[in-house]
Structures are given as structure tokens and as C-alpha cells.
Structure 1
Amino acid sequence: MQLQQLAYFVAVAEMRHFTQAAEVLHVAQPSLSKQIRALEAELGASLFSRARGNITLTPAGEALLPLAKRILADVDTARLEVQELAGLRRGRVRLGATPSLCAGLLGDVLRRFHDAYPGIQIIVEEGGSRDLVRELTRGSLDLALVILPLHGDPPLETKPILREHLVVASPAGNAGGERGRTSSREPAQVPRRSYLRIEDLRNRPMVMFRSGYDLREATITACRDAGFEPRFAVEGGEMDAVLRFVEAGLGVAVVPSMVLAGRPGLRGTPLVLGDGPRRGHHPELQRTIALAHRKDVEPTHAARAFQDALETFLVEAALAGSLPAGVEALVTHA
């Protein structure tokens, strides 16, 4: 089995067309087909069904595809790592991050890292925590900032670095996110106080993230634990869309407080556990963010350099009191 054969296989599997795959790879179509047949002979199984020119994966092909992608991703990472060890000022960091971090402090971290290592390519993938865990496990990412605890016990090493406090986002001019009652049948205003409980969201229209967002699952679970099903005015959005829908008065949303920075049209009300603050204690809802990488692959030099830059930034920002509102650093030294 050769890497070239796996690359040809992945190209055909993704394009479902031999000729188009050959054109993308800049090889002759007969040569590509020959290598695919050689791979099938090596494995002792057909990888594609070619009935009437319709190219589909066989069960063997379906099983091989994620493994082949992972092998090729690891080889690419190894090539870059050797180039770094050879003294070349080049490399790559493929970083996954949740939308709240992309909209918050990540930009400052990337600016500092780029200034220190201008020859290293930075590729950022924004997504929900579960999506990022999946891509990290597949080898499509080097590092990812994910939400703890992880689901399904993936083979990842994690280091908690941040704690985010969650708030209820609503239009700035209205407590609880209601622009005004238009019908006597509408529920009463959310109580006007400095915090909200999960129970206060009962019967409130909510704007909900798409599947794959940790915030979606956390909000739904908290509502069900409180004995009610959340009512969605609209669902399926990414972070920017959800915040814009809240600004438009469609409903409220549970979000990390840092994403409200620079959005004067929104206010954030702390979301607390139980009956709310008692004796000066505020048991606010929060989540822990960790930096993760695969257990079976050592981070590249570039990835380790990014981790150092991130941790140094957090330590310095915490000491200077310049972290975004609602964010706590969990690292004390870089």
C-alpha cells in the first residue's frame, strides 16, 4: 500500500468521478485507475462500485476512507515537522476554536503568535465543541479549544485553560429580552433583577444554535432538568446569527458573556443555579475550556509554540486585568 494510492483513492471517493479526480491531481486517468486497482488487489476487496458509470463506495471503501484521510493528514504533519527540525522557518498550525473564542480573545493571541512566528501558517476552524473534537480525532486539526467534559471519551489530551461564565443575552433596552407585549396571552415579563434562573426562561421564546454546539445541549439539558422544554422562536444559527436574531427581538439566548463585547444592542444577565445568589455568593452557570490534542500524535513544534503563546497571553492578561468580561484564566504560568 502506497501513500500515492491512498491519495488517489481519497480524491475519487470525494469527487465520485475518476476523470475529475485525475484532473485535480494532475495525473493521467489511466494511471490513476491502475493505482486504484493495485490498491484493491493489495487489500483484497473492491473499494468502488462502478455500475453504469455511477461511482459509489463499497462497504470496504467506506471503512477505508476515514483511515486514509487520517494517514494522509499525519504524513503531511510529519513532513512539516521535519522541515521545522531542518531549520526552515516555516510550519503550520491548524487550530479549532469555539465561536465565543473566535469573537473574543483569540484574535489578540493570533496577532502575538504571528508577530513572533511570521513564517508559520495559521489555519483556524470555527465550530461547536463536538464538531471540533471529531475533526481533531480525525487528524484534520493539530489543536482545538474545546468544552469540558468531552463526550464519548475521545483519545485526546486536554489542559483546562479558561472558564467562561454564561449569560442570558437580550435586547439592551428590555429586561429579559422582550420588546413589549402585544397580546394579553403572552407570558409576563421576566423578573427585573441582576440575575436570572433557568426557571425564568420557561415559556420564553429562545434563539437556539444549530446541532453540534455545546451551548445548545447545555441549554436544553438545563431547561429539562428544571422541568420544562425550551420554546424556540428560531433555531439552527451560528453565533453571529444567533446574536443578531436576539438584537432583532426574536428571543433570548444563553451565550458566553465575552461575545457581547462590542455589541451595544445587547445586554447580558448572569444565569445562576438554584434560587440565585445567597449571602453574597453568585453560583453562576459556567463552562470550562481546554486546549486539546490527540494522544497518539505529539504536537508539532509550531503547535507547541502556539500553546506557549496562548498560555503566556492568558497569564499576562489575567495579571493586567484585561481579560474579557466573564472570563477567568485557569493557567497560572506559561
Structure 2
Amino acid sequence: MRIHAEELLTFLAVAEANGVGAGAQVLKRSQPAVSERLRTLQAAVGEPLYQRAGRGIRLTAAGESLLPCARRLRESLDAVENWSARRHALQEGSLRIAASNTVANYFLMEHLARFRGRYPGVQLQLKTGPLTDNLPLSAWDLLFTEEQIGGGSLPQHMEQTAWREDELVAILPRDHPWVREGRQWVRWEEVLAEPIVWREVHSGIRRRVEAAIACAGLRARYSVEVTGVEALRDAVAAGLGIGFASVEALDKVRWPLASLRLEPPRGLFWTLYLIRPRADFRSRAVRAFLELLAADG
């Protein structure tokens, strides 16, 4: 017969109060209800756990042997309640985020810093780099991507939504003739006549630019390829060619570079995506971070 925690806690209260009636008062339950639980527990154990002694009780050998187990159960349950209270208050927990380098460095860090300041007990884990096809999506609480992932690749408990839109621009040295002419934009035909510094293959910015060039009926040229935003900046500043970057990223750093709009007059834009658990599957840490993102705009 299975023994339930409520029965053991009832026995513990009666044993420590030295009486069924006194134990019922501690538990704030009726004495018949307490007696019924004790009978059920004794039936499961298969022998008596206490005997009446005057107005109180005296534990049998079996009862004395069971008492430490009941106390350890109470301690464990108290620890679980304390753990739950700490997670409710976000005094502990974890938040696992995967993001591309560009998104992590220029779109997420200030939000993560604010979250950390507000909830220092929550452990943050941030994976940066290319979000390749073999990345286990379900191993992360939130994923920030530079491209939309096919719905068939998403775990059933997760959803994908457009997070924010940003403009992509050409970046070039400040002494470039176009900059000295005071130009504000440049056409693809002009861009493709120049050497180009490309990001790595998995870069969302690179893929968006390649798609725009193909849509214009043109063919991209590949002369220089670098890995990472910093390498792109240094290569363009050194005069190796024209690069492409996010306007919001440029707003947050002081690069010795100029920028020109693409696809005039509308400009070239890209969308960043957020993969998150569906509402019923979000931890408190995930909900708190999403609320912070929404509040920060």
C-alpha cells in the first residue's frame, strides 16, 4: 500500500504534539480527519505506530523508527517550498539564450545587463555565433536569429515571431570619393563595381544583401571575406573594400567609417526574429526577460 506525504506529516504533528487532538489543532484539521489519516498510515505500515497513554500517546518501536523519516520529509518539503518561493521572486533560476554575434553584441547586451541588474540570482547563459542548422533549438530558452527558420524545424512547444526591423547600409572609409561628394545613397551597380568585404557565409547580413543583389538581377562579386563584425570594420577602414552593416549597430559604436543608404529611396531593411516558448511553456525568467524587452521597446 502506498504511503502519502500527508499521512506522514499528520503522524509527525501528532507525535510532536503528543496527542491526536493536539496534533489536529496544530494541523488545523478535525480530530476525526486526523485519526483517519493515522489509521490509513498504520494500515500501510502493517503495525501500530503509537498507543494511547493517559491524555497523550506513546510511540511504539515502529513509530520511533518512522519519526526521523517523517522529519526528513518535512525538511525536504520545506526546502521545496523555499525553492519555489525563490523562483517566484526570481531570486534563482536560469535563462539560456542563443544569438548571432551581431544580435548579441549590438541588440541584446544592454537588455541582458538590465535584466542582470534586476534579477542577479538568475544564471545567464549566452551562446553567440552562427546559429547553424544542427543547433538543438530546444536546448535554449530564447533564440535571436538574423533569418526566419522554417516552421517545420521548430519544436512543438516553441514559436517564432518577428522581433525588430533594422536598415542595412554600405560602410566605407570617410575619405572615399562618394563621401567627399556628400552622397547619401548608392546604387547596386556602383557598389558592385567596387571591391566588397563580405562577412562569413552564415552571416544574416550577408545573406540579406546577396538576396537583394539577386533580386536586382545582378551578380555579387566575392573578393574579400572576413569573420566577425570587428574584422569587417578593420578591413573596410584599411581600404580593402565596401562592407555592409546594421544602422542600429553603427549607432552604438564609433567606427572611423561613413555609411550610405542602399536601394534608394526606400533603403534596404532586414528583420530579426525571436524564437521563444509558447506562453504555457515559459519559465518565470523567460517571462520576465520578454516583459523587459517589450518595455525597452
TM-score band, normalised by shorter chain: 0.5 to 0.7
Map of 2:30 onto structure 1: none
Show the 5 A alignment for 1:1-334. 85=84, 87-88=86-87, 89-128=91-130, 130-131=131-132, 134-135=134-135, 137=137, 139-151=138-150, 153-155=152-154, 156-175=158-177, 193-261=183-251, 262-272=253-263, 276-277=264-265, 283-294=266-277, 298-314=281-297
Task: Give, in angstroms, the shift of residue 265 of structure 1.
Answer: 0.8
Contact kept, 8 Å, 2:196 with 2:241, in 1: the verdict is yes
Q: Percent identity among equivalent residues?
A: 24
- How large is the Cα RMSD of the aligned pairs? 2.8
Structure 1 pair 284–84 and aligned structure 2 pair: CA distance change class (3 A) = farther
For residues 192-219 of structure 1, give each alpha carbon's deviation from its aligned partner in whole angstroms, at most 9, with x where no partner exists: 6211222322232111111221122222
Which one-letter code corresponds to 2:176 in the other structure?
N
Aligned to 1:169, what secondary structure does the other structure show? strand
1:260 CA drift (Å): 2.0
- Relative to its length, the structure with more helix (as a share) is 2
Residue 232 of structure 1 aligns to a residue whose secondary structure is coil
Q: Which whole-Å CA distance do the structure 2 matches of 1:313 and 1:84 have between them?
A: 30
Question: How many angstroms apart in 1 are the aligned matches of 2:272 and 2:222?
Answer: 26
Q: Secondary structure at the match of 1:201?
A: helix
What is the rounded CA distance, in whole Å, between the counterparts of 2:161 and 2:269 in structure 1? 17
* Bigger Rg, which one: 2
Q: Is the contact between residue 148 and residue 290 of structure 1 (CA under 8 Å) also seen in structure 2?
A: yes
1:223 and 1:306, CA in 2 relative to 1: closer, same or farther beyond 3 A?
A: same
| CA distances 1:69-103 after superposition (whole Å, capped 9, x unpaired) | xxxxxxxxxxxxx9964534211111122333333
Task: Kindly provide the amino acid, as one letter, of the partner of residue 98 in structure 1.
Answer: S
Return the TM-score normalized by structure 2: 0.62
Distance in 2 (alpha carbons) for counterparts of 1:161 and 1:85:
31
Q: Provide the C-alpha distance between the structure 1 equivalents of 2:85 and 2:109, rounded to a whole number of angstroms.
A: 30
Tell me the distance in 1 between the aligned counterparts of 2:204 and 2:287: 26
Which whole-Å CA distance do the structure 2 matches of 1:233 and 1:161 have between them?
33
**Aligned match of 1:77:** none
Q: Give ranges in structure 2 of 5+ residues lacking alignment.
A: 1-80
Q: How many residues align?
A: 210
Question: How far is 1:232 from its partner?
Answer: 2.4
Stretch moving more, 220-229 or 287-296: 287-296
Alpha-carbon separation, structure 2, partners of 1:85 and 1:255: 44
Q: TM-score, normalised by structure 1?
A: 0.56
Alpha-carbon distance change, 115 to 254 in structure 1, aligned in 2, over 3 angstroms? same
1:199 and 1:226 in contact (8 A); partners too: no
Instruction: Write the distance in 2 (CA, Å) between the matches of 1:204 and 1:83.
Output: 64
